Amino acid sequence: MSNRALSLGEAARLVSGTLHHGRDEDTICGVNTLAGSDASQASFLANRKYAGDFEASAAGVILLAEGTLPDTQRPVIRVGDPYLAFAMLQRHFHPDVQASGERHQSATIDPSAVLAADVDVGAQAVIGARVRIAAGSRIAAGCVVEDEAQIGEDCLLHARSVIGAGCVLGNRVIIQSGAVIGSDGFGYAWSGREHLKIPQVGRVVLENDVEIGANSCIDRGAIGDTIIRTGVKLDNLIQIGHNVDIGAFSIMASQVGISGSTTVGQGCQFGGQVGTAGHIKIGDGCKIAAKSGVAGDLQAGGTYAGIPVMPHRVWLKVSALLPRLPGLWSKLTSLGFK
């Protein structure tokens, strides 16, 4: 990786920061944690929980926010957002692998599929009829891309992911291992004798720069499409129901479940294990704490928590009072309440 080594001066320019107490020409060839780094590596202080590791760190340089630890005399690059600067350095040192047009001989590629020349297809992968895959995309071992699916440029499908029939991926989409894009939505009508399955004939559309976590499931629309918009990032083991629409740049931690026909706005942030009802609207920019349950529409810009959700500031008070409920009860009981 030495051919991607950076001088401290180059590193500071790359992250739009300023170098203090360090020599421009010293070099780094990687990034590591404060505790784990050596003199050839940069590190960063982004979470104050790790501030105690700062002085003892052997890092060659440390990415640090403007106002933090103003008196330090060690080499630092001061930046607006150390975590973002860390990301930028890390991307420099670990660039994406480029597609090379390798098609493993054990892969099954339908003759009617149209793949750009440089598309990689891994061992035991299956590419169905009339599939289209654009330039730069890589399909890892064991993936199944079903008939008529379309995959844009520079996508990366990790091992054993499934793209269902007719589903559409934009450019630079990443699918982690085992994810299922285009499973049937959960739709039945009770006939009086059985749950009659309703054919799920819509698609899943993942727009540009979407990432879907390992073993997550995105159901196809019952009619029409399930849409995950530009730049959305979904963690592992997430369930997205049929005809859900998730707004651009929203981000959800693992094990979230969004029920069918719900609309999530742009720029939302969901903690892990959040669940929502179906057929509701969650406004732009909502933040929902881990484990919350959302039963109805939520106004844009709010921060929510609880089951069912309430404003987060209320939830903080409620959750602090819950363990004190038995004491209150005893007191009231002693006064004759019951």
Which residues in 188-207 contact a copy of itself (CB under 8 A)? 188-191, 194-199, 201
What whole-number distance in Å separates Cα of residue 153 and Cα of residue 142? 20
Nearest approach in angstroms of CB 287 to a copy of itself is 13
Residue 142 contacts a copy of itself per CB under 8 A = yes
Between strands 233-234 and 27-28, the pairing is unpaired
Residue 135 contacts a copy of itself per CB under 8 A = no
Q: Which of 94, 242, 279, 312 does the annotation list as catalytic?
A: 242
Residue 158 contacts a copy of itself per CB under 8 A = yes
CA angle 235, 247, 226 (to 5 degrees): 80
What whole-number distance in Å separates Cα of residue 257 and Cα of residue 217? 10
Catalytic (active site) residue 242: yes
Surface-to-core class of residue 83, CB atoms within 10 Å of its CB (0-12 exposed, 13-18 middle, 19+ buried): middle
Binding to a copy of itself by CB under 8 A, coded x per residue (else -) over 22-61, reads ---------xxx--x----------x-x------------
Binding to a copy of itself by CB under 8 A, coded x per residue (else -) over 81-120, reads x-xx-xxx-xx-xx---------x-x-x------------
Residue 9 contacts a copy of itself per CB under 8 A = no
Residue 166 contacts a copy of itself per CB under 8 A = no
What whole-number distance in Å separates Cα of residue 35 and Cα of residue 64? 15
Give whichever of 23 and 313 is closer to a copy of itself, judged by the CB atom. Answer: 313
> Which helix H or strand E contains 150, and what residues bound it?
strand 150-151
Considering only 7, 236, 263, 303, the residue that binds a copy of itself (CB under 8 A) is 236
CB 312, CB 296: distance < 8 Å: no
Residue 70 contacts a copy of itself per CB under 8 A = no
Judged by CB under 8 A, the stretch of 17-25, 54-62, 64-72, 175-183 that binds a copy of itself is 175-183
Q: Coil, helix or strand for 324? A: helix
Judged by CB under 8 A, the stretch of 20-28, 63-71, 113-121, 217-225 that binds a copy of itself is 217-225
Nearest approach in angstroms of CB 81 to a copy of itself is 7
Give whichever of 150 and 243 is closer to a copy of itself, judged by the CB atom. Answer: 243
Considering only 136, 152, 164, 285, the residue that binds a copy of itself (CB under 8 A) is 164
What whole-number distance in Å separates Cα of residue 1 and Cα of residue 30? 8
Give whichever of 8 and 244 is closer to a copy of itself, judged by the CB atom. Answer: 244
What whole-number distance in Å separates Cα of residue 164 and Cα of residue 203? 8
Distances (CA, A) of 141 to 99, 106, 120, 131, 320: 14, 10, 10, 17, 49
C-alpha closest to that of 262 among 247, 281, 249, 288: 281
Residues identified as active-site: 242
